[in-house]
Chain A
């Protein structure tokens, strides 16, 4: 133990010894342990003695505890650590927490199961979490997306339909699905202009250049021709400049 004489003008923290430093570090909240472990070799080794992203804290995983305590900084640290143990239940809970959902979505590397997709779509629908909604549309379980879409299309449908039509899912849409969409937009609550939006003639309020739809399918087409068709997605970089087209010669429907 070093001399505790206050005449020392320079603080030498290393005088404290590892036992004392360990006691100090154990007083730190979890989200301060990562920076502390990057101070020097001694501190790195001391922190590693009692804390690790893959080690249970009591009966709880660190990431679970970060979510339970709504500690975004700590959750972010853990999600950046490859050693962190993750599971679907933690993500399901995190997606429903406003402060957590974006950081967890950015680090989501588990399979997009039906349960995950349903939760994210649901949160996106009811809490305007477009980032999650869009990610679910792009990567989620196809059947869940479609059922969710038809459900929400009857309600606050405009934003959903825009996102849906821009999603990767729509690239490979099948005729039977398309017919259901068209069925849903023919509900009496939709105006003519709304239906035009879905048909691709215009989007929102702006008229957007020439109509490029060559031979867009009607509901009758769908009924007559139930075979799957190939769809192509052309993104011209605007939310309002999209339209749907179908080439009669190649039987390809183009979204441009």
Chain B
């Protein structure tokens, strides 16, 4: 019988125990567990996640451990790309408090959720960052997220020609 807890080693060489249920909420860890069936139970290395961030991930997993498993979206057969703006409202009060953190921490959790493949957490972080982008001008977005403006004057002139100067745009 498989043990009830899993050991993982973080990027800062901390060994952390997490329950099998929480570990299985990460597709990455789940795959590693499946690959290591029958082998000695060594700590699973997570070189891209710090202990501090992993604890946050575990907090989220603990709160959402009874949520229904996310359903894999069936890829549409037709090749036409359709985009529908998603509802980025965060309705869960606990989640609202969870994302009430420094942007630096949010980005780290997003990176961890992406690496560990925790779909619900990844989606929550994307929604939160999208909410941060809403209503901002390109300049404000670049400043808030530390993004370099690599658009050439030619690019900008083409955009102005195509779109004109609209309110709230730089």
Tell me whether A26 and B86 are in contact in the complex, defined as CB-CB below 8 angstroms, given that A4-B48, A38-B159 are known contacts.
yes
A2 within 8 Å of B (CB atoms): yes
Q: Are A27 and B142 in contact (CB under 8 A)?
A: no
Q: Are B151 and A16 in contact (CB under 8 A)?
A: no
Q: Are A38 and B138 in contact (CB under 8 A)?
A: yes
Q: Which listed segment binds B: A76-84, A206-214, A228-236?
A: A76-84
Instruction: Tell which of A11, A37, A51 touches B103, judged by Cβ atoms closer than 8 Å.
Output: A11
Q: Are B83 and A50 in contact (CB under 8 A)?
A: yes
Q: Are B115 and A35 in contact (CB under 8 A)?
A: no
> Which chain B residue has the least Cβ–Cβ distance from A47?
B83
> What 0/1 readout, one digit per residue, does chain B (61-81) give for beta carbons within 8 Å of chain A?
000000000000000000001
Q: Are B104 and A8 in contact (CB under 8 A)?
A: yes
B157 within 8 Å of A (CB atoms): no
> What 0/1 readout, one digit per residue, does chain A (21-35) give for beta carbons within 8 Å of chain B?
001111111101011
Q: Which listed segment binds A: B29-37, B91-99, B127-135?
A: B127-135
Q: Which listed segment binds A: B1-9, B18-26, B106-114?
A: B106-114
Instruction: Tell which of A6, A38, A41 touches B108, judged by Cβ atoms closer than 8 Å.
Output: A6
Q: Are A6 and B52 in contact (CB under 8 A)?
A: yes
Q: Are B83 and A26 in contact (CB under 8 A)?
A: yes
B40 within 8 Å of A (CB atoms): no
Tell me whether A28 and B84 are in contact in the complex, defined as CB-CB below 8 angstroms, given that A4-B49, A6-B53, A20-B114 are known contacts.
no
Tell me whether A40 and B163 are in contact in the complex, defined as CB-CB below 8 angstroms, given that A11-B104, A28-B133 are known contacts.
no
Instruction: Tell which of A9, A16, A24 touches B133, judged by Cβ atoms closer than 8 Å.
Output: A24
Q: Are A41 and B133 in contact (CB under 8 A)?
A: no
| Size range of the chain A interface in the assembly | 35 or more
Shortest C-beta distance, A83 to chain B (Å), equals 7
Q: Are B166 and A39 in contact (CB under 8 A)?
A: no
Q: Are B151 and A38 in contact (CB under 8 A)?
A: yes
- A24 CA / B129 CA spacing, docked (Å): 7
Tell me whether A35 and B169 are in contact in the complex, defined as CB-CB below 8 angstroms, given that A4-B48, A24-B133, A80-B164 are known contacts.
yes
Contact residues of A between 30 and 79, Cβ < 8 Å to B: 30, 32, 34-41, 43-44, 49-51, 56-58, 73, 76-77
Contacts of B130 on A, CB cut-off 8 Å?
24-25, 27-28
> What 0/1 readout, one digit per residue, does chain A (1-16) give for beta carbons within 8 Å of chain B?
1111111111111111
Tell me whether A35 and B138 are in contact in the complex, defined as CB-CB below 8 angstroms, given that A6-B50, A16-B111, A81-B162 are known contacts.
yes
- Can you name 25 A-B pairs with beta carbons within 8 Å? A1-B111, A3-B50, A3-B111, A4-B109, A4-B112, A5-B53, A16-B114, A17-B114, A19-B114, A20-B110, A27-B86, A28-B88, A28-B130, A29-B88, A34-B166, A35-B169, A36-B141, A38-B159, A39-B141, A58-B82, A76-B166, A77-B163, A81-B163, A81-B164, A83-B162
B interface residue numbers (CB < 8 A to A): 11-12, 48-50, 52-53, 81-86, 88, 103-105, 107-112, 114-115, 122-123, 126-127, 129-130, 133-138, 141-142, 145-151, 155-156, 159, 162-164, 166-170
